[in-house]
Amino acid sequence: MDIRRADMIAETLEQHVFAGKYRDGERLDELKLADQFCVSRTPVREALQVLVANGIAEQFPRRGVFVRLPGPVELMEMFEMMAELEASCGRLAASRMTETGLRQLAEANIRCQEAIDQNDHAKYYAENEKFHQIIYRGSANGYLEQQTLRLQNKLKAYRRMQLRFRGRMAQSMAEHREIVAALEAEDAEKVASVLRNHVAVQGEKFHQLMANFNS
């Protein structure tokens, strides 16, 4: 699909940054990257512009482009916004979710439960992600869905940690069931509040991890 190498480079770099391959503030050397990707500086520079536009890197004129990883404060803010977006999706989905959507949610939940029974963290993580994405879709607002997916993707790397907490998967599962029940009852405010807390707890768990890490 993508003939443009610049696009492929942008995508690859983005993944690398999210995967933690670069330290915060690290300079993205045009020549090195050009060498790495076996291209000239031109497509690399176009890719860097995209990273900067997406807030993944920062540019200082005539100095270069530098990786810009979110600090603890910004991360908490992102988690908080994620909770708000999910709550909004849930609120709208309460009255808009189709039968098909509800069925998909039930199916996703079954697979989540399977993952718990098998103690398969990776599977739970994947199925949990799908569960939430079905709700975004259920908002019947393509723009909101897209923006929410973007932030979900940005937080992916950090969300992964928090499942390690003892009993978190089981609790998360119970919350899923509560969410589905509220959606079936079309109780918009209930859906919103449960979802908000369900997601916000991730931020708090993450905060805990950070605190433990620093002590």
| Residues making contact with a copy of itself (CB under 8 A) | 1-4, 6-7, 42, 45-46, 49-50, 52-54, 59, 61-62, 73-74, 77-78, 80-81, 84-85, 87-88, 91-92, 141-144, 147
Number of H helices, E strands in the chain: 9, 2
The answer for residues whose C-beta is within 8 angstroms of residue 194's C-beta and 6 or more apart is: 90, 175, 178, 179, 182
Residue 20 vs residues 24, 25, 63, 70: alpha-carbon distances, Å: 9, 12, 23, 12
- Each residue 32-51 as x (binds DNA by CB under 7 A) or -, in order, gives ------xxxxxx-xx-----
61 binds DNA (CB under 7 A): yes
- Among residues 10, 36, 76, the alpha carbon closest in space to that of 210 is found at 76
* Partner touching 203 among DNA, a copy of itself, none, CB below 5 to 8 Å by kind: none
27 lies in the site for DNA, by CB under 7 A = yes
Q: Which stretch binds DNA (CB under 7 A): 21-29, 145-153, 168-176, 190-198?
A: 21-29
Binding site for DNA (CB under 7 A): 3-6, 27-31, 38-43, 45-46, 59, 61-65
